[in-house]
Structure 1
Amino acid sequence: MGSQQSALEPEELAELGKISTFSTEEINRLYRRFQFLDKENMGRIALEELHAIPELAVNPLAQRIHAVFDLDNRNEINFRQFVSVLSVFAKGAKREQKLNFAFRVYDVDGDGLLDTSDLTHIVKLMVGSNFSDDEIAKMVHQTILDADTLDHDGAISFAEFKRSMFNADIEAALTIQF
């Protein structure tokens, strides 16, 4: 799938349709957007170029989102990865997929648990300097108390995260019109 290619082959479209929740029309639109971002015609883009997607550029968690996108720690993605990763933001993505993505964004150290350190880092990214360290610590402590309902280990597991997000409209929060 070189960047010199002006359109995707039907086989490529079918394969990308299987690994994503996008329609053929959306995949073609994403391909044009990817080619626009791939200024050097290398068939890959730097993750920083995702800032050209307005919905991601304004997100205070953009760097954490980039870290989750960077599956192989190369700070760049090819078109297949681009489609696969952005699929979580598609209207047709399943709630479980969106919850898993959100959990991975919050799990800064990647240990499969949301602990005080992870949540403090995330809250600081979200609120900036609008709250004192004491206020942030209280928010984080209360969040863990409220969500740590299954094993009471002082951290939030994915199962606890899902339970705590039961009434949240995660679909609307993690959907981008492509």
Structure 2
Amino acid sequence: MGNEELEDYQALTFLTKKEIIRIQRTFQSFCPEEKDYREEKLTSKQMCSWPELKVNPFRDRICKVFSCDGTFSFEDVLGMASIFSDRASPRLKAEYAFYIYDLNEDGFIDKEDLQSIIRRLLNTEYLKKEDLIALTTRILGEADLIQDNMLSLAEFEHAMSKSPDFLHSFRIRF
């Protein structure tokens, strides 16, 4: 990658040159040696095997949200990494978190989404069904401003703006 191209990527993302180079090396390691990485695409399965995503309980959703066709170009990966960067805006992070957590893709985070999110995050072996329902009800009670038993993007953004840990937890260091 040339210096001019590197500077262009840096200008278009929230990533540093060092991060872009590290992502390029990892991306290139998945490409056949004789191929130009800029013309290659990785599958969602390959992306989910990246060390940074492998342990994330939402890796399948992350890959789905950041790829419209199940494949990732180098620029797609840069875009994804940019959102998870420390330098991305809180509003942008909240928007993408909403899309990731809207598991049934109905444009809202509802009770079923919340229960699935909690199951992914916690060891549900020790979580009783009534505790899961109580936790879901409490979350909706605090964040559901119009009390329709689901969170819109605006309600989710509002809730995340009040959560001091959100910005630190919604990051992946590529």
- TM-score between the two structures when normalised by the length of structure 2: 0.84
Contact 1:115 1:156 in 2 (8 A): yes
Instruction: Name 1:5's counterpart in structure 2.
Output: none
Instruction: Name 2:143's counterpart in structure 1.
Output: 147
Partners of 1:177 and 1:114 in 2: CA distance: 26
| C-alpha displacement of 1:107 | 0.7
Partners of 1:30 and 1:146 in 2: CA distance: 38
Q: In the alignment, residue 13 of structure 1 is paired with which amino acid? A: L
1:169 to 162, 165, 169: 165
1:134 aligns with 2:130: yes
**Aligned residue runs from structure 1 range 20-99, under 5 A:** 20-39=13-32, 41=35, 43-70=40-67, 72=68, 74-99=69-94
The 1:112–1:175 alpha-carbon spacing in structure 2 relative to 1, beyond 3 Å, is same
Give deviations 1:54-83, integer Å, cap 9, x for gaps: 33211222222222122x1x2210101110
Partners of 1:19 and 1:112 in 2: CA distance: 28
Instruction: Name 1:119's counterpart in structure 2.
Output: 114
Partners of 1:38 and 1:136 in 2: CA distance: 43
**Identical positions, percent:** 27
Q: How many residues are paired up?
A: 168
Partners of 2:143 and 2:18 in 1: CA distance: 40
Partners of 1:171 and 1:53 in 2: CA distance: 22
Partners of 1:158 and 1:86 in 2: CA distance: 21
Q: In the alignment, residue 117 of structure 1 is paired with which amino acid? A: E
Q: In the alignment, residue 164 of structure 2 is paired with which amino acid? A: A
SS of corresponding position for 2:151: coil
SS of corresponding position for 1:129: helix
Which range moved further: 58-67 or 123-132?
123-132
Contact 1:88 1:174 in 2 (8 A): no
Q: CA RMSD in A?
A: 2.1
